[in-house]
Every structure is written in C-alpha cells, then in structure tokens.
Amino acid sequence: MSGFFSVLWRYRLFIVQLVRIQLLLRYRRTALGFVWTLVSPVMTMAVSAFVFSHLLRFPMQQFVVYVFSGMLPWLLLSNSVTIGGATILNNENLLRKVALPIHAFPIAGAIGVLVDNMFALVALFAIALVMGAPITSALLVLPLSYLVVFLFVAACSLFFAVVFVFFRDMQHITGVALQALMYATPIFYPLEALPEHVRPWFQLNPMYYLIRLFREPIHEGRVPELKTWIGCLLIAGVMAVIAGVFYSVLRKRIMFRL
Amino acid sequence: MAESEIIVEQVSLHFRLYHEKGADLKQAITGLFKRKHRESHSDFLALNAVDLRIVHGERIGIVGHNGAGKSTLLKVISGIYTPTTGSVRTVGRICPLLEIGTGFHHELSGRENLYLHGAIYGLHRHEIVELVDEIVAFTGLGEFIDTPVKYYSTGMYMRLAFAAATAVKPEILILDEMFAGGDAEFIGKATRRMQEFLDAASIIVFVSHQLELIERFCQRVVWMDHGRVREDGPMAEVLPRYRAAMGG
C-alpha cells in the first residue's frame, strides 16, 4: 500500500512527462489546438440540450447549465476508462524493456484527463455564464468535488487498464457499456422525470451520486450536504480499494500477458 | 561509490504460453459452463533453479541457443519479470541499453523526447536539462532539437536516439544484442562514445549471438541451456566448449 504511493512519488517526473505527452499529442497540429476539448462537449451539450429540452419541455437556458454540470464529471469518468484504461497496452513495448512501475501509466492517464477536464471547465463556464449559470460562493467547493471524483476515476483507470490486459475484448464492450451508463445517469434529464418505480434502480449507479458534487454547486448554486460528500467519498474509497487490491493481486502477472 | 553486485539465487520462472491470445474472454465465459475445458495454455520452465553471482567490475557474457532463457534471465535481473521462485538482489542503478528509438514519439520534438527518456531512467529535472545540452552538443542537431522527430532525416534520428541511449550511464548495464539493427557507419563514428558508456558501467551483462563480441568484451561467460546454467566460467574456457557444442 505505502509502496504503491511511494513508487508514484519516486517516479513523479516520469508521470509529469507522461501527462505532458498525453496532452501534447492530443492537441498538436490541430488548428484549434486545445479548443477541441471544448468544442466537442459543447456540441454534444448543444445537441442534447436542444433535443431533450424539446422532448421534456424544460426551459432551454437552464437546461444547458444542467447538462453541462453533469457532463463534466461524466467526461472525467468515460475518458479515464477509455484513455487511462488503454495506457498499459499502449506502452507494452516500453514496459517489456525497462522496469517501470506499471500503475504509473493509468494514474498518469487519469491525471491527463483531469487536466483536460479542468481546461474544459474554465472555457465551458464562460458559455454557461452567458446561458445564465448562477455565480455563487458555492462554486468554491469545486476543487473538492474534483478531488473526490478524481479518486474514483483514477481507480477506474487503474482497474480497467489491468482488465484490458487480461481480457482485451473488454475494450470494445466497455465502450458500449459506458454509453449505456451515460444514458442511465441523469445527465440529460432529472431523475424525477422517470416513473417512480424505476428510480431506485437508477440510484444504484455510483455516478448518480458523484455528479451531484458538480451539479449542486454549478446548477443549483449550493454546497452539497455533508451526507452527499460522505456518500461520494465512500463510493470513491470503495472503488480505490477494489482497484488497488485487484492490481496488487495481478501485478506480477501483467508482464507475462503483454 | 558502493560496490555493484547482482545475486541471483535459485531463480525459476514458469512461463505460461497462451495458444490463443485474443480469445481469453470467450474462454473465460465458456470455461464457466464447461466442467472440463480444453487446456488453453501450456507451462514451461523458462528458468530452472538459476544461481548466479556477479560482482563489481565483471563483464559477463550470456550465450545459449534460441529459447535457452538468456533474455528471460536479463529481464529477471532488470526487474521486468518477477521470478516464480527464488530471489534476485541487485546493488547499483540498473539499466538496459535501449534499442534505438525505444520510447520515442514521432510527434514530439527531440527535446520533448529527451525529457521523457530521462524520466524513464528516473533522472532529476536538472540532470535532464544537462543531458539535453550534452546531447545537442554531441549530435549537432542545433535548433532541430525543437522540431518533431518525424521530420528528422534517418541520420539525425539515429544520432539522437543513439546519443539518448548512451547518455545515462548506469552502474549495472544490461545489453541485449546491442549492435543489432545498428547503422554500421554511424556506429563507427560513435565508437568513442560507446566505449565511454561501457567503461562507466561497473557491471555489464551482455547477451549476444555474435560470439566475437562476447570474446572481445567479456572475461566471464555463462552458458544457458533449457533454462539452466550449463557452464559458468572464464571466457577462454567456456566459449570454446560452447562453440564446439554448437558446431557439432
């Protein structure tokens, strides 16, 4: 356990380089550079806001902010699983030649996704303000929201990176599963829009709770209650323990499966 | 500086060969339903109770037929593979000489690649800055150092990759077929740098099929055969016997 983190600390410069490269390679030689991080979620948001506000007859302006506040933590999760989850396989040549801490790769992947997400937050927020997002002191709680959700997504990144080594097919299945989970998470609709008897099922989804840490300060302008924080921290902690145990059990076998 | 040392004690490594690498999920699922499923893999002993002690100042060559466990032994010593049983202890910073271009990204500039390269070796930031300066001087890349390496000519790329690979001088150096795939003319020019690089290491473990290289570099030879150490002794004794066995 302490070895897990002390190795990360020892290889911090390596992790910084991996994060830099992940960001550089994404934006290099695209005319709009990192603007693309913003454009694609904005377009997703615009399309879904248009469709859902007509479908569900919500006031459009409020709805954009509502979707935006749910999309941020969602993108954090889905990118961590797809980008972070691919890191061990993508670096198999390097891993086969140099003894490097394997978990540094998915953790660096998740950090890269986090940095990306924070860029998106800043720029999307400008748009959200125009659309009428409330500026309140509740927004100051967002760094803490990021911290809790990051713990969860970094654990997911590590977990799936190991899963993908042993079951390569899972990469394809996971893409579909993520899409299903996205629609099962109240990002584009409020949970109250669903029939009452199905709601408990949707509440089994950990993302249902985690997106509140963003939605309440951004959309509703209030700091989430203490019990929301504790619940989310518990979810993230459980996921971290699962990923950590999973990794430490399989760590020695990973090299033989690359 | 402390004396470098490698101690390999009773190391065995079971390798599991998967016959169909891609079908694991399917197998895992069908395996749930079938009570007796077909063996999807076979085990073999890549290393079998290997004992080896390498001390400061030794240049040691490892020979053996294909699949004798030479490269596997190097990977166990480097810490890439964990042995199934037995233990490996090393004193001193251990590094492989990376194949030309390992870990290089074509979209990144020479400088950015060197930063990654230095970080792979666990260098500190100021060491990396020095390394970049030294490499710019050696390669004569000048301002090309900030150009993505995919625009480099083959010669420029080779110079950069070679300089990077030999820039960090480890105490224990692992060489797996070091000259394989190299450009002969360039290696000629770089001989001096290579020599300095080799001289800086307090231990060199060298695997090669080119016995002339082993003869030139190593005083001690370990002959691996089916995962076991068949012979271990002075180069002048072991190598002729190995040659005879191969020739016969």
How far is A158 from A8, CA to CA, in rounded Å? 13
Nearest residue on chain B to A26, alpha-carbon basis: B107
Q: List phi, psi (to 5°) of B17.
A: -95, 125
Compute the nearest-CA separation of A194 from chain B (Å): 35
Interface of B with A in 111-150 (CB under 8 A): 112, 115-116, 118-120, 122-125, 128, 148
Q: Do B108 and A21 touch (CB under 8 A)?
A: yes
A99 neighbourhood in chain B, CB within 8 Å:
78-80, 94
In the predicted structure, residue B181 carries a pLDDT above the cut 50: no
B145 neighbors B109 (Cβ within 8 angstroms): yes
Other C-beta atoms lying within 10 Å of the C-beta of residue B67: 13
- Are residues A97 and B79, on separate chains, in Cβ contact within 8 Å? no
CATH class of the domain at B5-92+206-247: alpha beta
Domain total of chain A: 1
Q: Can you say whether residue B105 is alpha, beta or left, with left for phi > 0 and alpha for psi between -120 and 50 degrees?
A: beta
- A213 within domain boundaries: yes
> pLDDT tier at B17 (50, 70, 90 boundaries)?
confident
**Is B16 touching A (CB cutoff 8 A)?**
yes
| pLDDT at residue B230 greater than cutoff 60 | yes
Phi, psi of B59 (to 5 degrees): -115, 115
Q: How far is Cα B52 from Cα A256, in angstroms, rounded to an integer?
A: 23
Residues 168-227 of B with CB under 8 A from A: none
Amino acid letter, B147? T
Q: What are residue B225's phi and psi, to 5 degrees? A: -145, 115
User: Residue with structure tokens 């961590």?
Assistant: A80
Q: Tell me, what's the pLDDT at A246?
A: 96
Q: Is residue A180 part of a domain?
A: yes
CA–CA gap between residue A59 and residue B81 (Å, rounded)? 59
pLDDT at B13: 93
pLDDT value, residue A194: 87
In-domain check, residue A196 = yes
What's the confidence (pLDDT) of residue B176? Answer: 83
Classify residue A25: in a domain, yes or no: no
Per-residue pLDDT of chain A (258 residues), as tens digits, is 678 999 999 899 999 999 998 888 877 766 666 666 667 767 777 777 777 777 767 676 677 788 888 988 999 999 999 999 999 999 998 998 888 999 999 999 999 999 988 887 877 777 777 776 678 888 899 999 999 999 999 999 999 999 999 998 899 899 999 999 999 999 888 888 888 999 999 999 999 999 999 999 988 889 999 999 999 999 999 999 999 999 999 998 899 888
Tokens representing A200 are: 């408990």
Strand order in the sheet with B203-207: B94-96, B172-176, B203-207, B59-64, B220-225, B228-234
Q: Do the beta carbons of residue B27 and residue A170 sit within 8 Å?
A: no
Rounded to whole angstroms, the Cα distance separating A180 from A200 reads 17
Report pLDDT for A257.
86
For A93, the domain range is 33-257
Chain A residues whose beta carbon lies within 8 Å of the beta carbon of residue B79: 99
**Could you tell me which residues are beta bridge partners of residue B95?**
B173
pLDDT at B188 over 70: no
Name the helix (H) or strand (E) containing B124. none
- Does the residue A19 lie in any domain? no
Mean of the per-residue pLDDT values of chain B: 84
pLDDT in tens, A226-243: 999 999 999 999 999 999
In a domain, A2, yes or no: no
* Residue A172 in domain: yes
Interface of A with B (CB under 8 A): 10-11, 13-14, 16-18, 20-21, 24-25, 28-29, 93-100, 166-170, 252, 255-257
Higher per-residue pLDDT: A145 or B18? A145
Residue B147 CB neighbour total at 10 angstroms: 14
Residue B164 touches chain A, beta carbons under 8 Å: no
Instruction: Looking at A83-141, list the stretches that DSSP marks H as alpha helix, in order from N- to C-terminal side.
Output: 87-90, 92-97, 104-130
